[in-house]
A and B are shown apart, each in its own frame.
Chain A
Amino acid sequence: TADELERNERLGGVGCRRRRAEDARFIQGKGNYVDDIQLPGMVYGDFVRSPHAHARIKAIHKDKALAMPGVHAVLTAEDLAPLGLHWMPTLAGDKQMVLADGKVCFQNQEVAMVIADDRYIAADAIEMVEVEYEELPALVDPHRAMDDDAVVIRDDLEGQTEGAHSKRIHHNHVFTWDVGDAEATDRVFSEAAVTVKQDMLYPRVHPCPLETCGCVASFDKVKGELTVHLTSQAPHVVRTVFSTLSGIPESKVHINAPDIGGGFGNKVGVYPGYVVATVASIVLGRPVKWIEDRIENLSTTAFARDYHMTGELAATEDGRILGLRAYVLADHGAFDACADPSKWPAGFFNICTGSYDIKTAYARVDGVYTNKTPGGVAYRCSFRVTEACYFIERMIDVLAVKLGMDKAEIRMKNFIQPEQFPYQSALGWEYDSGDYPTALQQVMDACDYQGLRREQREKRERGEIMGIGLCTFTEIVGAGPTRNCDILGVGMFDSAEIRVHPTGSVIARMGTKTQGQGHETTYGQIIASEIGLPSENIIIEEGNTDTAPYGLGTYGSRSTPVAGAATARAARKIRDKAQKIAAHLMEVSEDDLEWTGEGFRVKGVPDQVTDMPKIAWAAYNNVPEGMEPGLEAVDYYDPPNMTYPFGAYLCVVDIDRYTGETAIRRFYALDDCGTRINPMIIEGQVHGGLCEAFAVAMGQELPYDGAGNIQGASLMDYFLPTMVETPYWELDHTVTPSPHHPIGAKGVGESSHVGGIPCFSNAINDALEQFGSGHVNMPHNAYRVWQTLHALKLDQ
């Protein structure tokens, strides 16, 4: 209502474009990031890393390094082994070497850590550590990983035929995971009038946050307590893991995630740097700082994607999709450290039926080891939804081409309809809500889709190459229900704790951790709307595990769905108590009161009102008999389902046929994430995600050569767009609330990356396939596009 809107504007509540509470410190250089931390007696740790992708370690000579002034220690696996810390568990249920244990399995792997007075001396000392290697053949092609004669990467798993997720059928096999009705799907395909099949690669890329990973570990020998400041998206999980690994009780492990310079999924897991710096601090009894450089970040921390996918669709001749079959070969690198809920080794790839009513489907994923860096889930992927979305959105286009059907028309024809929600998908997810036809139509109207197609036909006759990309995606975010979602056994709830002070200001903390998404601003907006106190006086904190309630962290766009829900529910508990206090103050029955948005009034007597500041004060000095003083509440929220935001994106590209260079003429993105807490923040999230999508589709990759050398892992080659390359973004939205969420809000942070990449790639493919190119893989940089043009003799 208009009243509500006006009140929300005044309070800085839900729906308003509230300016950010975080900005004041960041625009003045007063943020507090890990490398800003200096502690008395602090020393610096850095790694000796492997030049080889696969080699045995014959000897490590520390003497020259140790003899250097300012060097305190050189730690190797031998030093960690007595503590059982030369290996560590991963979120995927595998284990990973902390320091090379007898061999190295990927290039730049951690071999030894040097501890020195400062980072300059540490760098010198690293050069003085001599490591003798005996090279082994490197395995880089996942398609060869399960050959009979493939080299054994994981000696430590020899004889283990049972992995964390399934039987292992080969020494380089990690898991097989499948879902859906295989037989019924095969039947649909054998009977269908039309079938298409397409191989496609989602290349290995990297989230590359501008701030790399790092930590300051400080063990207090007197108190027996460990404090670690670190770049973590999930600090409570890190505390539990560190306590388990070190044997230090969780109450004596103080994990603090301060301001984080972007995470993008790179900072979910535990890296060897955190572990070795912590061990070094325990050994030396002084703080140890570890800050990696960019090349180390790109080449040794969590990569994203590397899914080799084969897709099949079965359809009627008029374009009704009857069945879907997906097979994926997943390259996980040398250790399976893929961040996932523990029962989901391929994440939520089974959302790959997308926005379409496909009754019969089957998907299978095989993970393999290769001599590469671990990772997989990162970079706004929502647990492999990027891959699932790319898969279905490319396949839809492939089918449209085969049928000679328009790409918007085939989508309209197969959309799940608004009245079908909640919709049970063939691969097991229950979509909460959606209105896909309206969204796509709105985009087509805004961009004059028919006019663009006309222009494309005319251009083609003139020999100009233009492509129109569409993507109509469904996301799945907000992991998740504890019945099937857990991280290392901890259910994937999240939490909020809200405390109202006597004078009506508020401190609130959540179990998530912002890395720039604006939580300190937007959680305050939820509280402001729920309890009628202005958000400017609501302080939001996250990241300190001593003070914040236990939560599972921020990734998978789960903050709004889970901690956002907990925040609203905790605030409602406060409001319920406030109502009792108000009834006591006004000497009426609780049932006679109604909520005004800022307090309570007696029904039918508008001038009998009391507001929240008065109630807060009374909570500390005048509560009904038998009621606890104070005004605060906690909520741990176990979501009943995920949220399923969606979007319709359109991209227009023009390709120079002689150089292969692509100009993005237009990118139009409509997102629907239900109730919008802060439109300004959502728009910023979408801009950022689209920029990533542009980068991934058009230039980013982390290739390995045949010897296992990682290539392009620095900003010399790794494509991060500047302002010059980055397109101008046009945004739009519709609002289809999540029926199960306390405020109807869905997650959104990753949508634009998930949906953006297929939209760009579809535009390139749309431009080229009219010449018979078939599917072309990403990245679509000028050289690659030119290669396609050249093969088709279009560049002459």
Chain B
Amino acid sequence: MGKHAVTVTINGQSTDVAVDSRELLIHTLRDRLRLTGAHIGCETSHCGACTVDLDGASVKSCTVLTAQCQGADIRTVEGLAGADGLHPLQEAFFQEHGLQCGFCTPGMLMRAYRFLQENPSPTAEEIRHGMAGNLCRCTGYQNIINAVQAASGKMNQPEAESAE
């Protein structure tokens, strides 16, 4: 089986990998690049624990071949915090107790990161629908919804202030 040479940008860094055509992106991230934040919770593409941001979309990385990712721009949970500290979503999950075992958290965060760009000021109902591709077994979701709303409020704040 020949290897595919694939160049991707991950969390802002260009990275070369050589993979079999059948290698799933989640395994490339976890086993090869040691970005073990993204997790595997199923094999039927339901749980969303493997969600990463790929070229501006939330993607379940267990359902993408790495060989399909030539030239892609990928962000994982490890790249969410910036130079000036945690992303407001990370801070909000912490403040609102939006995680317990932490296994769904990286996927939740990466989905919320994209979702809040799609819908910067969502209602609770919109969050429930917008994040329905991510399963959580610990939280009963309520605090996750609170966290996404809190982050949305915080992220919209500077704009609101400058508009005043």
CB atoms of A26 and B137 under 8 A apart: no
A294 proximity list for chain B (CB < 8 A): 41-44, 47
Tell me whether chain A's interface is mostly helix, strand or loop, or mixed.
loop
Which of A260-268, A359-367, A447-455, A636-644 lies on the face that meets chain B? Answer: A260-268
Q: Does B5 contact A (CB under 8 A)?
A: no
User: Given A28-B78, A211-B101, A262-B101 in contact, is the A688-B36 Cβ separation under 8 Å?
Assistant: no
Which residues of B sit under 8 angstroms from A24, Cβ to Cβ?
Answer: 94
Chain A residues whose C-beta falls within 8 Å of the C-beta of B138 in the assembled complex:
262, 516, 684, 688
Known A-B contacts A28-B90, A261-B101; the reply to A714 vs B128 at CB < 8 A is no
A260 and B138 alpha carbons, distance in the complex (Å): 12
B155 to chain A, nearest CB (A): 16
**Chain B window 133-154, contacts with chain A (Cβ cutoff 8 Å), 1 for yes, 0 for no:** 1111111111111000000000
Least Cβ–Cβ distance between A647 and chain B, in angstroms:
15
The yes or no answer to B132 lying at the interface (CB within 8 A) is yes
Bound Cα distance A67, B35 (Å): 33
Evaluate contact between B142 and A516: CB separation under 8 angstroms. Answer: no
* A27 → chain B closest CB, angstroms: 4
Residue interface mask A2-39, B partner, CB < 8 A = 1? 00000000000000000110111111111101011010
Residues of B within 8 A of A728 (CB): 142
Q: Tell me which residues from 243 to 300 in chain A have a Cβ below 8 Å from any Cβ of chain B.
A: 259-262, 264, 293-295
Instruction: Tell yes or no: A240 within 8 A of B by CB.
Output: no
Q: Look across to chain A and name the residue whose beta carbon is closest to the beta carbon of B127.
A: A723
Query: B94 and A210: CB pair below 8 A?
Result: no
Task: Give the bracket for the number of chain B residues in contact with chain A.
Answer: 35 or more
Q: How far is the CA of A260 from the CA of B102 in the complex (A)?
A: 9
What distance in Å separates the Cβ of B11 from its nearest Cβ neighbour in chain A?
10
B 66-105 contacts with A by CB, 8 A: 76-78, 80-81, 86, 90, 93-95, 97, 99-105
B49 at the interface (CB under 8 A from A): yes
Most buried by A among B95, B129, B137, B144: B137
Interface bits B95-127 vs A (CB < 8 Å: 1, else 0): 101011111111001000000000000000001
Contacts of B81 in A (CB 8 A): 28
Closest beta carbon of chain A to B152's beta carbon, Å: 15
For B27, the chain A residues whose CB sits under 8 A away are 119
- A49 CB to closest chain B CB, in angstroms? 14
Q: How far is the CA of A686 from the CA of B27 in the complex (A)?
A: 34
State the main secondary structure of chain B at its contact with A: loop
Contact A687 B101, beta carbon cutoff 8 Å? no
**Is A515 an interface position by the 8 A CB rule?**
yes
| Residues of chain A lying within 8 A (CB to CB) of residue B38 | 29
In B23-49, which residues have CB < 8 Å from any A CB?
23, 27, 30-31, 34-44, 46-47, 49
Interface string of A669-713 (1 = CB under 8 A from B): 000000000001101111111111000000000000000000000
Closest approach, in angstroms, between the C-beta of B21 and any C-beta of chain A? 11
B3 to chain A: which residues have CB within 8 Å?
none
Query: How long is the Cα–Cα vector from A212 to B47 in the complex, in angstroms?
Result: 12
Q: Which residue of B lies closest to A695 (CB)?
A: B137
**Contact indicator A687/B139 (Cβ below 8 Å):** yes
Q: When the two chains form their complex, are residues A259 and B102 in contact, meaning their CB atoms are under 8 A apart?
A: yes
Given known contacts A210-B137, A687-B141, A688-B139, is B132 in contact with A26 (CB within 8 Å)? no
- With A28-B78, A262-B101, A726-B141 in contact, do A714 and B44 touch (Cβ < 8 Å)? yes
A692 to B140, CA, bound (A): 8
| A467 contacts chain B at the CB level, 8 A cutoff | no
**Contact size range, A:** 35 or more
Contact indicator A261/B144 (Cβ below 8 Å): no
Q: Cβ of B131 < 8 Å from any Cβ of A?
A: yes
Q: A31, A260, A689, A729 — which one has the most chain B CB atoms within 10 A of its CB?
A: A31
Is B55 an interface residue when CB atoms closer than 8 A count as contact? no
A222 within 8 A of B: no
Q: Tell me if A323 is interfacial: C-beta within 8 Å of chain B.
A: no
Chain B minimum-CB-distance residue to A515: B101
CB closest chain-A residue, reference B80:
A28
Bound-complex Cα distance A295 to B101 (A):
21
Cβ contact within 8 Å between B141 and A723: yes
Alpha-carbon distance A38/B34, docked complex (angstroms)? 9
A29→B11 CA distance, assembly (Å): 13
Contact A262 B128 (CB under 8 A): no
**Assembled-state Cα–Cα distance A444/B142 (Å):** 23
Inter-chain contact B142/A729, CB cutoff 8 Å: yes
What is the CA–CA distance of A396 and B48 in the complex, to the nearest angstrom? 41
A38 to B106, CA, bound (A): 20
Query: Of B49, B97, B134, B135, which one neighbours A684 at CB under 8 angstroms?
Result: B97
Is A28's CB under 8 angstroms from B37's CB? yes
Residues of B within 8 A of A25 (CB): 102
Given contacts A262-B138, A688-B139, contact A23 B99 (CB under 8 A): yes
Query: Interface on A for B, CB 8 Å cutoff?
Result: 19-20, 22-31, 33, 35-36, 38, 118-120, 208-212, 259-262, 264, 293-295, 515-518, 680-681, 683-692, 714-716, 720, 722-724, 726, 728-729
5 A-B Cβ contacts within 8 A?
A119-B27, A209-B103, A688-B139, A714-B44, A720-B137
Given A210-B101, A210-B137, A729-B142, 16 more A-B residue pairs with CB atoms under 8 Å apart are A19-B94, A20-B99, A23-B94, A23-B99, A27-B105, A31-B37, A118-B31, A119-B27, A210-B39, A210-B41, A261-B103, A684-B97, A687-B140, A715-B42, A716-B44, A722-B128
The 9 closest A-B pairs by CB, nearest first: A29-B37, A26-B102, A516-B101, A261-B103, A687-B140, A516-B100, A691-B140, A36-B36, A715-B46
